[in-house]
Amino acid sequence: MAHISDDEKDIVSQDSYHKVYLLGDGGEYIILGNKKFYKHELMTAFGGTMQTERYKPAEPLNFGNPAALGLASFALSTFVLGLYLSGAMGISKPNVAVGLCFFYGGLVEAAAGIWELVLGNCFAGTVLVSFGMGFWISYGAINVEAFGIIAAYGDDTKQLSNALGFFLVGWGIFCFLMLLLTFKSTLIFMGLFFTLDIAFFLLAGFYFTGNAHLQKAGGIFAVIASLCGWYCAFAGTATRQNSYFTANPILLPVFGKKD
């Protein structure tokens, strides 16, 4: 890391918000606060690592990228469930997805999230653990007879539908809050949360109204969200050393003061 000169420090100190400055003939230096970094030393907003900050000093890793594992487990589980909910191939019961809910979408995704918390990535950890332990495992439990959740409602299908609707509304609100934190990241990463949020509210609407078209639309949006998740997972694992193809992030524009 290069040190900032006194003249450059004066430039930065004029703005209490510590804007991002590019220096050098080719813009190879970036100033954050009162420190100067080489551009290649910084992590940019990147869906493959679930990094939402536009610029952040890179921390050396001696192990793999847990975000890619979490994204992959989320994507596959969401893809399968989305196909079921959309009625693909005439499938109307999502119970085959229960195995994914407990193990790949549940335990594996939560484990990846816990490791992200260890690495200091609060956003990724919060999202992956919440969806892994909170959504996927609880959704699987709802569909397992041994837990007696559905049986507890007996013949009162209306109450069951309303309860499931509120369950999905809660997750839609959580997803919306996480969506707000992706507007400085990349297009595909933001698109993942945007389409997933729409899926939650459409499916909630289905349970409240019984309109099958809402379920089908919710399943389709879930499939789209899964494709975004797979793209981000590929971006987090593909390098110039192991692949002829890498994913170039499309950064979203940042408006107002850049800090």
Q: What is the pLDDT of residues 213-229, one digit of tens each?
A: 999 999 999 999 999 99
> What whole-number distance in Å separates Cα of residue 171 and Cα of residue 162?
14
Tell whether the model's pLDDT for residue 247 goes beyond 80.
yes
DSSP state, 100?
I
> What whole-number distance in Å separates Cα of residue 45 and Cα of residue 4?
23
Q: What is the DSSP string of 168-182?
A: HHHHHHHHHHHHHTT
**Percentage of the chain with pLDDT > 70?**
75
pLDDT: is 29 or 223 the higher one?
Answer: 223
> What whole-number distance in Å separates Cα of residue 235 and Cα of residue 20?
25
Task: Give 38's strand partners.
Answer: 29
Contact of 65 with 46, CB cutoff 8 Å: no
> What whole-number distance in Å separates Cα of residue 226 and Cα of residue 123?
19
Residue 44, SS3 per DSSP = strand
pLDDT band at 16 (very low <50, low <70, confident <90, very high): very low
Least confident range from 68-77, 199-208, 209-218, 247-256: namely 247-256
**Domain range summary for the chain, segments of one domain joined by +:** 12-57, 66-237
> What whole-number distance in Å separates Cα of residue 10 and Cα of residue 101?
54
Place of tokens 């569909």: 143
Query: What is the structure's pLDDT at 232?
Result: 94
Tokens of 227: 């494709």
Global confidence as pTM: 0.79
Query: What is the structure's pLDDT at 12?
Result: 39
Note the pLDDT tens digit of each residue in 189-245. Answer: 999 999 999 999 999 999 999 999 999 999 999 999 999 999 999 998 988 888 898
